[in-house]
Amino acid sequence: MNLITTNLASIHEKNEFCCGKELLDNYIHRQASQDVKRKLSACFVLIESGSNIIKGYYTLSNNSIPLALIPENIKKRLPKSYKSIPSTLLGRLAIDKNYQAKGVGKILLVDALKRSYLISKSMGSFAIIVDPIDNEAEWFDAKYGFIKLPDSGKMFFPMKTVKQLFEK
């Protein structure tokens, strides 16, 4: 399998995508292209090179976290003058049912982390944020090291930790 990620384009068979979660299916069917056009988010699809079948997708956009939400042990190392901290939102991540439980979700998550890290070299981003839609999603994110932000359903992964994954 020669899997690649690329920007969502009209050639991709978005209406065939089905991960089993209505919210995530509807998003790629109806809203993703509009969000991309409006520059609200970037959407990346996982395909086999030369194919238009979407095996998975994720979205990224700029975001900020209120300083007050950051755990104390991390907050004490940040300047107090910052009321919000720049971050990258991994808004949605899903794998088509035909390809689930084959290691593809892990590949896609690593791709999203790496892309976010590379972007952070040209535009500051302190952490990657996810907002899991349910327990399964939370379990998946927690498995890969995302930390819960107190008093919020959101989870985060410090960019410093992401850096350690990709740079020795």
Binding site residues, ligand COA, CB under 6 A: 19-21, 24, 93-95, 100-106, 132, 136-137, 140-141
Closer to ligand COA by Cβ: residue 122 or 135: 135
Which of helix, strand or coil describes residue 3?
strand
C-beta of 21: minimal distance to ligand COA in Å? Answer: 4
Cα-based distances in Å from 63 to 59, 66, 86, 107, 168: 12, 10, 6, 23, 27
Q: Which is nearer to ligand COA, 82 or 144 (CB)?
A: 144
Shortest spacing between CB 155 and ligand COA, in angstroms: 9
Least distance from ligand COA to the Cβ atom of residue 23, Å: 9
Give the span between the Cα atoms of 115 and 119, in whole angstroms.
6
